[in-house]
């Protein structure tokens, strides 16, 4: 037997005899001893094992997160100035964040292991005890199959290896996982050599591991097993994946924070040296200011929010989020790409109309088609009706076929492409009725028609097909009784009766789910291998305007920039190969969309890899589940809506946290820098800055457990760094104004505020004001002025109240004394209350106006 290169070079280009010789096999199968030798040489027939990632590797992967890198830099900076407490707290936050993220993703991996399915368990193989012995059929584990084995497959079987057919009867194989086509393909032996080209999966004589037998049976020789099968080849790792929406957001925000961190300490040092003659004694304060600017708890809040959302989806909807950041990505999706089969439509056709030769409705056409379908099923001993026959029988009168006596039948043949039934009608002795049903072209060539009439009927069929319908033609003839009843091998001289049209059965929940997705700002684009008319018809029936359908032929002529512009305004893409789907998804990402792709087959792997978030159902092919980011309980748009809602819920909490903490921190830093230039002492002691920051960050952990406003669910939640920085800058300046107003209040109410004697009082007053303004920021930036009365404050409101109490009471406690703080005069609290009221009104009004402008622009968070 030749080496494994033979299995990849195109065995379909050989005749059947040449194939058997090349495999060192024969129609009687292998000898047991030879099979054992080949098993030892080639190994078991199992795909390369998928290995879950260990907890330790997941933990280390979390350390590469940019937010975590920011925290580690802070820890190093704190340790460099001997602020060991801050350094320890920072390292603890890093460890907690990485542990939470690793735990969530490890649980998802274990859930995926539980979902893995074997391609098959046993198969029927022909083996011989010795070279002269007869072949015996027996069941063997699939793992023991070897190249050269001769196997038998039947209805319901999963093809256990890549095989070439030696014999077949009515064999139809479902290989949608490879091609995306919902209809089973006819398979039969072909002895004429044919070179292997791009249409490998369309070759009739070859079946592939992972395909399933829809009907019929066959005998085949095994060509490839294990890692050498086409199914296993798609498990090879793809190229490096482009950064997802979460990655782009994280990197943008993280680098902005790192720049601020690197700039702030030098500015503080230079300002202190230039205006106050201070030296390195201000370094601890400069580091404390950098720490105050940075949201230390951000990795913990991001991970906790996403982990809680993922746990909720798994618990309530059976959705598995395999990669925690993918939950953010699915919440940010504004374009969802999918195939129509199994999502918008079910995997079965539905009878539409029965037309006579003139194109008018004629129930007689359906009647005779039902008689053909029923008696073909009964007499040909098919295990189940073909999908089109099942649709015919569902639509016809249940008693219609039973009015006749079946005589003989030939099932649909992939070469003749017709099914033939012969029946006897009671009361008509000496006459038999031959009914033929099949493809339009093959039925017409068996009918008595002149050339002009045949062209007219082909035109009628073409018009119906252009409307996105599948077609069957029906014809009949009366024949005298033969001496021996049998089915005519190739009936001719028929009378054409008419056409049957079929449409795809719509998924019951699809129309409603599409409307819900549209309400959430998600545009659905259909990428299918089907006929353009079929895809357009399905969209129209579901309430989607298909517009101009873009076909694969046109895609091939477009440059990347041209495709990106056209894909952005196109809803339906037809005749797409896996490569076309991936290219369209990539083009949509290129124009700024956050894309999701829903697929379930091997043919969907390139697009799953190209999308920001790959989605597949639980019953998808194994390798698709391994490559997907989100695994649904079933292939249903409603499940995707649940996942989108959970993603936006989690991302909304993260966005609220970022806006609140960065605005407050930036305002405090600006005020500290200004005050540091005007005062003969530091505006706050480093220890006070760090305690204040610790209190604020601890309170903001409540954002991870918050319930955001319902408006968050109405549009994609994208954390756009530039827009976030504009928001932070505007509201940070507003916060700085409030801080500086408090500076003025302290000057008015506390004697010698600008001298060294007033330092402790100034520190205490500013510490209290900072925590109170931060509590207001937490509440008002979350709800706004209009939402303050109608939204429950929840955990964020409770945390803000505790934060405010700490700000008022801590200076009065022994801990406050130890930190260098003192009690404040009553007049200070009265004037501070006035400042805070004005600040609250300004904050709420600015927030509502910002939200209104943002909604008018239709942008993300």
For 835, the token pair is 């400042």
Classify residue 792 as exposed, middle or buried by CB count within 10 Å of its CB (0-12, 13-18, 19+): exposed
Residue 735 to residue 354: CA distance in whole angstroms: 74
The catalytic position among 65, 157, 162, 339 is 339
- Strand runs labelled E in 636-691: none
Among 230, 254, 333, 770, CA closest to 595: 333
Q: Is 210 within 8 Å of 46 (Cβ atoms)?
A: no
Long-range contacts of 381-384, Cβ-Cβ distance < 8 Å, separation of 24 or more: 382/170, 382/215, 382/216, 382/411, 383/154, 383/155, 383/156, 383/215, 384/155, 384/215
What's the chain's length in residues?
861
- Strand runs labelled E in 130-211: 136-141, 150-153, 162-174, 185-186, 206-207
Q: Is 574 within 8 Å of 528 (Cβ atoms)?
A: yes
Residue 204 to residue 187: CA distance in whole angstroms: 5
Residue 332 to residue 243: CA distance in whole angstroms: 14
Handedness of CA 464, 469, 472, 475 (dihedral sign): negative
Residue 845 to residue 823: CA distance in whole angstroms: 33
Instruction: Quote the distance between the C-alpha of residue 229 and its chain's center.
Output: 26
- 317: Cβ–Cβ under 8 A, 6 or more apart, which residues? 633, 639, 642, 643
Active site includes 413? Answer: no
Neighbour count for residue 51 (Cβ, 10 Å): 8
For 759, the token pair is 């330092």
For 335-344, b/e burial (b = at least 16 CB within 10 A) is bbbbbbbbbb
Residue 860 to residue 721: CA distance in whole angstroms: 11
Residue 843 to residue 833: CA distance in whole angstroms: 15
Which phi and psi (to 5°) does residue 190 adopt?
-135, 120
Classify residue 700 as exposed, middle or buried by CB count within 10 Å of its CB (0-12, 13-18, 19+): buried
End-to-end CA distance of the chain: 63
3-class state of residue 379 by DSSP:
helix
Pairing of β 595-598 and β 150-153: unpaired
Write out the catalytic residue numbers: 339
């Amino acid at each position: 037997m030749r080496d494994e290169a033979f299995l990849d070079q195109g065995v379909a280009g050989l005749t059947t005899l040449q194939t058997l010789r090349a495999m060192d096999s024969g129609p009687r199968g292998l000898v047991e001893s030879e099979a054992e030798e080949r098993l030892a040489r080639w190994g078991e027939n199992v795909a390369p094992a998928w290995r879950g990632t260990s907890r330790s590797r997941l933990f280390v992967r979390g350390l590469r997160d940019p937010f975590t890198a920011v925290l580690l830099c802070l820890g190093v900076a704190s340790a460099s100035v001997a602020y060991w407490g801050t350094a320890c707290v920072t390292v603890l936050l890093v460890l907690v964040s990485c542990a939470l993220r690793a735990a969530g993703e490890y649980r998802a991996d274990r859930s995926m292991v539980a979902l893995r399915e074997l391609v098959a368990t046993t198969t029927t193989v022909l083996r011989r005890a010795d070279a002269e012995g007869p072949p015996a059929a027996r069941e063997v584990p699939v793992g023991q199959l070897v190249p050269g084995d001769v196997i038998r497959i039947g209805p319901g079987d999963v093809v256990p290896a890549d095989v070439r057919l030696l014999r077949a009867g009515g064999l139809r194989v479902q290989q949608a996982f490879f091609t995306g086509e919902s209809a089973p393909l006819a398979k039969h032996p072909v002895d004429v050599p044919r070179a292997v080209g791009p249409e490998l999966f369309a070759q009739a004589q070859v079946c592939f591991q992972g395909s399933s037998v829809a009907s019929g049976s066959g005998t085949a020789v095994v060509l490839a097993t294990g890692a050498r099968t086409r199914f296993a080849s798609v498990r090879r790792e793809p190229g490096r994946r482009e950064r997802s929406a979460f990655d782009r957001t994280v990197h943008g925000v993280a680098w902005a924070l790192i720049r601020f961190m690197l700039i702030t300490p030098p500015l503080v040092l230079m300002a202190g040296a230039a205006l106050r003659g201070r030296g390195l004694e201000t370094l601890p304060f400069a580091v404390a200011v950098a720490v105050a600017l940075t949201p230390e708890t951000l990795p913990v809040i991001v991970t906790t929010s996403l982990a809680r959302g993922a746990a909720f989806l798994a618990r309530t909807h059976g959705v598995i989020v395999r990669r925690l950041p993918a939950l953010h990505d699915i919440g940010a999706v504004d374009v969802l790409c999918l195939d129509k089969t199994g999502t918008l439509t079910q995997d079965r056709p539905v009878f539409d109309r029965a037309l006579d030769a003139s194109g008018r409705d004629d129930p007689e056409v359906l009647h005779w088609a039902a008689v053909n379908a029923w008696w073909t099923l009964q007499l040909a001993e098919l295990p189940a009706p073909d999908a089109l026959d099942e649709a015919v029988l569902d639509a016809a009168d249940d008693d219609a076929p039973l009015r006749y006596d079946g005589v003989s039948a030939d099932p649909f043949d992939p070469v003749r492409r017709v099914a033939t039934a012969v029946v006897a009608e009671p009361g008509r002795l000496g006459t038999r009725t031959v009914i033929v049903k099949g493809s339009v072209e093959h039925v017409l060539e068996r009918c008595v028609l002149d050339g002009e009439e045949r062209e007219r009927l082909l035109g009628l069929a073409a018009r119906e097909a252009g409307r996105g319908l599948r077609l069957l033609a029906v014809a009949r003839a009366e024949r005298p009784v033969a001496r021996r009843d049998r089915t005519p091998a190739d009936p001719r001289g028929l009378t054409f009766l008419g056409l049957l049209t079929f449409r795809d059965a719509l998924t019951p929940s699809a129309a409603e789910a599409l409307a819900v997705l549209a309400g959430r700002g998600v545009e659905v684009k259909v990428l299918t291998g089907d006929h353009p008319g079929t895809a357009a018809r399905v969209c129209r029936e579901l309430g989607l305007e298909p517009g101009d359908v873009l076909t694969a032929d046109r895609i091939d002529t477009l440059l990347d920039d041209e495709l990106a512009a056209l894909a952005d305004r196109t809803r339906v893409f037809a005749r797409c190969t896996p490569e076309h789907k991936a290219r369209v998804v990539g083009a949509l990402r290129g124009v700024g969309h956050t894309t999701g792709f829903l697929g379930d087959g091997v043919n969907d792997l390139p697009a799953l890899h190209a999308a920001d978030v790959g989605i597949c159902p639980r019953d998808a092919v194994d390798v698709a589940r391994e490559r997907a980011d989100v695994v649904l309980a079933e292939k249903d748009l409603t499940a995707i809506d649940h996942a989108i809602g959970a993603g936006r819920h989690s991302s909304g909490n993260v966005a609220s946290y970022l806006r609140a903490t960065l605005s407050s921190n930036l305002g405090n830093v600006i005020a500290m820098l200004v005050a540091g230039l005007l005062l003969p002492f530091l505006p706050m002691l480093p220890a006070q800055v760090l305690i204040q920051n610790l209190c604020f960050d601890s309170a903001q952990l409540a954002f991870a457990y918050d319930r955001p406003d319902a408006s968050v669910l109405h549009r994609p939640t994208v954390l756009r760094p530039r827009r976030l920085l504009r928001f932070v800058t505007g509201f940070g300046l507003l916060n700085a104004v409030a801080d500086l107003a408090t500076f003025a209040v302290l000057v008015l109410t506390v004697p010698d505020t600008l001298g060294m004697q007033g330092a402790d009082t100034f520190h205490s007053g500013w510490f209290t004001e900072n925590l109170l303004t931060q509590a207001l920021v937490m509440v008002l930036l979350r709800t706004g002025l209009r939402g303050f009365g109608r939204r429950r404050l929840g955990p964020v409101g409770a945390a803000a109240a505790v934060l405010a109490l700490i700000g008022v009471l801590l200076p009065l406690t022994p801990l406050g004394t130890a930190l260098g703080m003192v009690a404040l005069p009553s007049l200070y609290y009265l004037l501070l209350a006035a400042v805070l009221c004005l600040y609250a009104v300004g904050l709420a009004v600015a927030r509502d106006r910002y939200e209104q402008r943002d909604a008018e622009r239709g942008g993300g968070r």
